[in-house]
Amino acid sequence: MKKADPPVQIYKVQSLYRNGVDLLLRSDEPHAEEVIETIFKEYYKNVLPRLPLQQPDWNNMDSVGLLSFLDIFNTAAEKFKEEVVQRRRALLTPARWQKVHLDSDSFKEGHLATVLARMLSAEDERVLKKHYKSFSNETYGATTTQQMKHLLDQLGVKEDDVIFDLGSGIGQLVTFTASYANVAKVYGIETCALPAAIAAKISENFQRLMNFFGKVSSPFKLIKGDFLTAENSELIKKEATIIFMNNLRFDNDLMDDLKEILHFCKSGTRIVFTKPIDNTRMTEKNYVEHFDSYSDTSDLDSIECNMEWTDKTIPFWVTTMRHEKIVEKAAEYEAEKARREAKEEARRLAKAEKATLITSS
């Protein structure tokens, strides 16, 4: 006889944050118990000793023990919240969450919330490596949140910035950026079915965690589709102020199509990339079409081991769209042409003068 599956349990974790919503997790959600353990170890580590309950032994706790512990904790937490209100003291704000309970900064907030959302969304992310075609445009190569923080800090993002992640995979950089940075909106666009499906789950679970912590992230949207479609390309050209793309594996055909979109982005739009957008040599014949005639490129600092798929450090650059640069390039090549013609005319005159002297002698 087939053994019946254990009944699904509902784990409830009381929120101790102002405007926070209690977190409800099903026992059959991926890594649910591990997520709860992380919440208590990382987020409630300083408040837990102040509650009248026995400290949990996570190494020896099963699902029954976890349910029992949560019942006791939730009762104690409810009394704790009532006492706080009676004393006319506020519950934990996001700032207190950061300062008192994380002993850290907003990076750790966004990083941990994104990690927990990923844990709840996929049993094993290694299936992505089998899903993507090796050494193709689809190759999965996630940038770490630590590197993304470093990039955002260098870019000095502002409240009116609209950030796009082209080829956003499972969307972890989108959710992290939405939590870490105060910006107008963050978009992620992913065409592959499996990572886009996981991204949708991560988005949902990330929002659940934000609600639990009473924290409002910057608006974000994960789009399942090709960033080359008319609808998505128009969205990019119209709204983007910062574009992030880990294009190391993008082939030449894809880069040519992508350049057609980037060419029409507004002046001032910054594009972060890992492989040159136009790897052809600029000449007088092709400068009008060359991407570098419309943008200025500089290096960005990279941290060590900045990708999840390799121990190597991958370099990043940023190019800023500046459409008036083409006028400067035209003037440069015109000046160079004039110098060449002047030299050629000087040589011609010298040759003619020499011929005259020979003839006259």
CATH number reported for the structural domain that contains residue 251 in this entry: 3.40.50.150
Residue 6 has pLDDT above 60, yes or no: yes
Q: Cα(171)–Cα(114) distance, rounded to whole angstroms?
A: 9
User: In a 3-state reduction of DSSP, which class is residue 166?
Assistant: strand
Q: What is the pLDDT of residue 135?
A: 44
Q: Cα(229)–Cα(247) distance, rounded to whole angstroms?
A: 18
Summarize pLDDT for 197-220 with one digit per residue, the tens.
999 999 999 999 999 988 889 999
Q: Cα(26)–Cα(33) distance, rounded to whole angstroms?
A: 9
Among the listed ranges 57-61, 137-141, 225-229, 250-254, which one has the minimum average pLDDT value? Answer: 137-141
Among the listed ranges 50-64, 138-152, 245-259, 317-331, which one has the minimum average pLDDT value? Answer: 138-152
Tell whether 284 is covered by a domain: yes
Domain end among 87, 117, 143: 87
Q: What is the pLDDT of residue 295?
A: 96
* Number of folded domains that form the chain: 2
Q: What is the pLDDT of residue 133?
A: 53
Residue 258 has pLDDT above 90, yes or no: yes
Residue 131 has pLDDT above 60, yes or no: no
Kind plus residue range of the DSSP H or E element containing 270: strand 270-273
Greater pLDDT, 278 or 139: 278
Query: Mean per-residue pLDDT for 294-321?
Result: 92
Residue 313 has pLDDT above 50, yes or no: yes
Q: Are residues 156 and 62 in the same domain?
A: no
Q: What is the pLDDT of residue 99?
A: 60
Q: What is the pLDDT of residue 101?
A: 52
Among the listed ranges 186-190, 240-244, 307-311, 316-320, which one has the minimum average pLDDT value? Answer: 307-311
User: In a 3-state reduction of DSSP, which class is residue 297?
Assistant: strand
Residue 76 has pLDDT above 70, yes or no: yes
Of the chain, the percentage scoring pLDDT greater than 70 comes to 88
Q: What is the pLDDT of residue 234?
A: 97
CB neighbour burial string for 111-146, b if at least 16 within 10 angstroms, e if fewer = bbbbbbbbbbbbeebeebeeebeeeebbbbbbbbbe
Tell whether 98 is covered by a domain: no
pTM: 0.87
Q: Using pLDDT thresholds of 50, 70 and 90, give the confidence band for residue 26.
A: very high
Residue 273 has pLDDT above 70, yes or no: yes
Q: Could you list the residue range(s) of the whole structural domain that residue 229 is in?
A: 105-322
Q: Cα(307)–Cα(46) distance, rounded to whole angstroms?
A: 32
**Separation in Å, CA 160 to CA 168, 179, 180, 329:** 21, 15, 15, 31
Q: Are residues 80 and 163 in the same domain?
A: no
Tell whether 330 is covered by a domain: no
Domain end among 322, 337, 353: 322
Candidates 152, 155, 156; CA nearest to 178 is 152
Q: For the chain, what is the mean pLDDT?
A: 88
Q: What is the pLDDT of residue 95?
A: 63
Q: Are residues 208 and 119 in the same domain?
A: yes
Q: Are residues 44 and 141 in the same domain?
A: no
